[in-house]
Amino acid sequence: MDYTTIAQAILYAVQQHRGQQRHDGQPYVIHPLRVAEHVRRLGGTDNPEVICAAILHDTIEDSGTRYD
């Protein structure tokens, strides 16, 4: 598995969601990280592109990040 790419996606998500919180007070980035874990475990995939997509799935709509 390509851990470097996944680590870069995690760092980017943390950076883009900095200061955002969930309704329960947890940092917002916890949500996409949990989604990625569910995709990996329950979806049965180690495909780094799929895992990165799960990690980054909210960055455009919730952080002002541009698609390009």
| Catalytic residue annotation | 61-62
Q: What is the DSSP letter of 17?
A: T
> Is there a contact between 46 and 40 (Cβ–Cβ < 8 Å)?
yes
Whole-angstrom CA distances from 21 to 31, 32, 57, 63, 67 are 10, 12, 16, 12, 22
Structure tokens at 41: 């475990």
